[in-house]
Structures are given as structure tokens and as C-alpha cells.
Amino acid sequence: MNDKNIMESHMGTTAIKISARDVQVYYGDNHAIKDVSIDIEDKTVTAFIGPSGCGKSTFLRCLNRMNDTIDICKVTGSIRIDDEDIYDRRVDPVQLRAKVGMVFQKPNPFPKSIYDNVAYGPRIHGLAQNKADLDDIVERALRRGAIWNEVKDRLQSPGIGLSGGQQQRLCIARAVATEPEVLLMDEPCSALDPIATAQVEELIDELRQSFSVVIVTHSMQQAARVSQKTAFFHLGNMVEYGETGQIFTTPQDPRTESYITGRIG
């Protein structure tokens, strides 16, 4: 972790976007997340790192209630976005997910055209008044996904036909098309080659201007490169949370140190 960039990534003082308190997650009898409390800042990239099965993806999926789709999953505690409890009975997860977009581990474009992939979200949320509006939204999203130049001539060809890295950027474009406020990324680069990874990481850094980005990653180098804040998860506990530079250079907890030096995980 001798990357010089760590020290250079600057942290502005920003507002708290997501605030979680005493979050517990159970899969049936399995206590997957224990007592996690964390404040995630706006316009910041927050990385969740930790060994496999430590609960970082589970916790990420709590933030847009994707865990609701799993019958046996039970979440307690409070998660507030902009000071509103997202597990309140009045909250419709559909509305929440429009506000908290998500990019998945494996690129999962719909088996439709590139255009329709991006336009789907805005269409179902009624963001466009007419075709021209929608064209604008699609172009803007694809530009923000840093993929516009590669696909602008073949918007009607299937999204499946793109390369893995392009597919993932298409998925990012699809996620930002609905103008979310938070973007969750679940190991977005684990299925990509190093060049595509570099492109996506660059993109994540740009997205920070507009969103609060939460990224789960297996790669500590990646966390160091893209994030300003890092949380280390181990066996369902959040062990340590702090500035990325501090976590990687002077970890407070011995478990964090063991993990980043490669002794556990």
C-alpha cells in the first residue's frame, strides 16, 4: 500500500448522506451483519473492503433494500438517507431504488438494445416528456458512463454484444440515467480485465462529482486508488472506518492491519 495517491486524495468536509445505526442482518438463523453503524458522506467514494463472506455486499444491499427480494433476510436497526428512515413502513423500495442506483458484480445489461438499456429507467420513472428528451437523457447518461464515443453509432445494437468492460460501463450509464443520489457498486470490476478496470475506476472518480458512491471491492489497491473513505468488514462486523489513507497506512485495529498486510482473508 505504498501508493502515493492515497496521501494525495483530498477529503473535503461534506454532508452526511447515509447514516446507519446498529444494523443487524439475519439470513434465517445466520447473523450476517452485526451492529454496523456508519456515516457515509455525500460526494465521496466510500469503499467497503474485507475478506469473502464478511458481509460487505450484504450491507451494501441493505442500502437500497435489495435484500427485500430474499425471503429469509431480516434487517433491523436504522438506515437513514437524508435523515429519512429507508426501512420505514411508508417507504416503497421502488422509489428508494430510483434514488439509490446500483451496479452489480457481473455486467448485466438487459437483452435489449444499448439505447433501451439506458432508456428503461427514465421511461418507467417518467423522466422524459418526449422522444427528444429521452434521447438527451440517454446521451447524457452514456457520456457520464464514459461509453458514448464507443456506442454512439450503434445505439440500436444489442447491449449483450459489447465487451465486458463496455457492458459494465453501460450498466453504470443505466444506473446514472435515473439521476440517483447514491450509487452503490458491488465489486464492479471483478469480472473485468485490467484495462477495463482502469477505465471504470477513472469513471468512478468522475462520478464522485455528482453522487455519493459506495463501492464494495476485493482489491485493496482498488480501494486505495478510488476511495476517500474506507470501511473494513470482518466476520459481519465493521472493524474500522476512516480516511482511506489512514486505514492503509496506520490502521488502528490489529485485524485491519493483518488483512491489508495479507495475513487474513
Encoded one letter per residue, x for contact with other proteins by CB under 8 A and - for no contact, window 38-67 reads --------------------------x-x-
Phi/psi at 173 (nearest 5 deg)?
-60, -40
Rank residues 49 and 177 by Cβ distance to other proteins and give the closer one: 177
Name which position in 57, 178, 199, 230 contacts other proteins (CB under 8 A). 178
In the bound complex, what is the minimum distance in angstroms from residue 142's beta carbon to other proteins? 15
Write the DSSP assignment of 180-227 as a string of letters. -SEEEEESTTTTS-HHHHHHHHHHHHHHTTTSEEEEE-S-HHHHHHH-
27 belongs to the binding site for other proteins (CB under 8 A): no
In the bound complex, what is the minimum distance in angstroms from residue 250's beta carbon to other proteins? 36
Backbone dihedral region of 131: left (phi > 0), alpha (psi from -120 to 50 degrees) or beta?
Answer: alpha
The one-letter code for the residue type at 67 is N
Side-chain half-sphere exposure of 243, counting CA atoms within 13 A: 13
Q: How many helices (H) and strands (E) does the chain have?
A: 11, 10
106 belongs to the binding site for other proteins (CB under 8 A): yes
- Which parts of 214-253 interact with other proteins (CB under 8 A)? none
In the bound complex, what is the minimum distance in angstroms from residue 110's beta carbon to other proteins? 6
Q: Which three cell numbers stand for residue 122?
A: 427514465
The one-letter code for the residue type at 85 is D
Q: Which one of the spans 33-41, 43-51, 94-102, 218-226 is the region binding other proteins (CB under 8 A)?
A: 94-102
Residue 170: how many CB atoms within 10 A of its CB? 26
In the DSSP assignment, the letter for residue 102 is E
Per DSSP, the three-state class of 154 is: coil
Rank residues 161 and 254 by Cβ distance to other proteins and give the closer one: 161
In the bound complex, what is the minimum distance in angstroms from residue 102's beta carbon to other proteins? 4
Pairwise CA distance, residues 3 & 226, whole Å: 12
Rank residues 172 and 196 by Cβ distance to other proteins and give the closer one: 172
160 belongs to the binding site for other proteins (CB under 8 A): yes
210 belongs to the binding site for other proteins (CB under 8 A): no
Pairwise CA distance, residues 144 & 37, whole Å: 31
In the bound complex, what is the minimum distance in angstroms from residue 8's beta carbon to other proteins? 33
243 near 263, Cβ under 8 Å?
Answer: no
69 belongs to the binding site for other proteins (CB under 8 A): yes
8 belongs to the binding site for other proteins (CB under 8 A): no
155 belongs to the binding site for other proteins (CB under 8 A): no
Binding-site size, other proteins (CB under 8 A): 27
Closest to 260 in 3D by CA, of 216, 230, 236, 237: 230
Name which position in 125, 140, 143, 218 contacts other proteins (CB under 8 A). 125
Binding site residues, other proteins, CB under 8 A: 64, 66, 69, 71, 94-95, 97-98, 101-104, 106, 108-111, 120-121, 124-125, 160, 171, 174-175, 177-178
